[in-house]
Amino acid sequence: MTSDSERLRTYERELASLADSLRQKAANVTRQLAQADLPSLTGIALRGQVDALMTGCRGAATTIEAVARLVAAHRVAAERVQRAIQRVETGLSDALQSALRLAREARRVDRVIPITRVNPWMTVLGTLAPGSDEVRVNYYEHGNACVDPGRVGRALSIAQRIPAIPPPGALAWLSVPSVLARYWN
C-alpha cells in the first residue's frame, strides 16, 4: 500500500502543479492582452474571446484542484483502511492460524481404551464385553491429544468462512475479527 500511497501522493502533487501552471498561464495571457494595443474592432473581439478562454482555463484549474483534493481524500481513506488491516493482521493472525491448523489437522479417532481414561470430550461407543474394563470411544485428536469437539467444530466453521490465511494487506483481513469473535472465543 505504501507504493500506492506514494503514487497517489505524486498524482495529487502533479494535479496541483498543473492547476497552478494553468492558472499562471491564464494570468500571463490576460496581462499581456491588457497591455497590447488592440484599438480595432478585431482587437476588441479578440480580447473578448481570449478573456472567455482564460476564464475557462481558470475554471479548468479549479476543477483540477478539486480532483487533486479527491485524490488526497482517497489516499487518506486508503491509508486508514490499510492501517486497520495491519492492526487486524498483527493482532489476530496467530489465532486464525491456530483455528485453521486445528480444522486442517484434527482427526476423528476410534479407539479401545481403559474405562478410567475416558474424558468428557470422548463419545463412548460401547464396552467390548460385559464386565470389561475397556471401552470403544470416538474423539477428535490433534497433536496426539484429545481435543474438545466443540472447539474443532468452531475451527471447521472458521475454515468454511476463511479457508486460508489472507495475503498480507488484503481486505479479507477485515472479516477476520467478526468470524473469530463468533466462532473462536
Mean pLDDT confidence for 107-115: 95
Per-residue model confidence (pLDDT) at position 47:
83
Which conformational region is residue 148 in: left (phi greater than 0), alpha (psi within -120 to 50 degrees), or beta?
Answer: beta
Domains of the chain (ranges plus CATH)? 2-89 (1.10.287), 107-146 (no CATH)
Amino acid letter, 87: R
- Whether residue 51 contacts residue 30, with contact meaning beta carbons closer than 8 Å, is answered with yes
Average pLDDT over residues 104-110: 97
Full-prediction pTM beyond 0.85? no
Which three cell numbers mark 36? 497590447
Task: Transcribe 44-70 into DSSP letters.
Answer: HHHHHHHHHHHHHHHHHHHHHHHHHHH
Lowest mean pLDDT among 31-40, 56-65, 91-100, 105-114: 31-40
Cβ pair 7, 72 in contact under 8 A: no
Q: In the beta sheet, which residues pair with residue 97?
A: none
Q: What is the rounded average pLDDT of the residues 45-49?
A: 86
Name the more confident of 41 and 113: 113
| 2: confidence class by pLDDT, cuts 50, 70, 90 | low
**Chain mean pLDDT for the chain:** 93
Least confident of 12-26, 61-75, 124-138: 124-138
Q: Tell me the pLDDT tens digit for each residue of 92-103.
A: 999 999 999 999
**Looking at residue 80, what is its pLDDT?**
95
- Tell me which residue of 150, 169, 166, 2 sits closest to 75, measured CA to CA: 2
Q: What is the pLDDT of residue 174?
A: 96
Please name the residues in contact with 85: beta carbons below 8 A apart, sequence gap of 6 or more. Answer: 169, 170, 171, 173, 174
Beta strand ranges found along 63-143 (DSSP E): 107-114, 123-127, 134-142
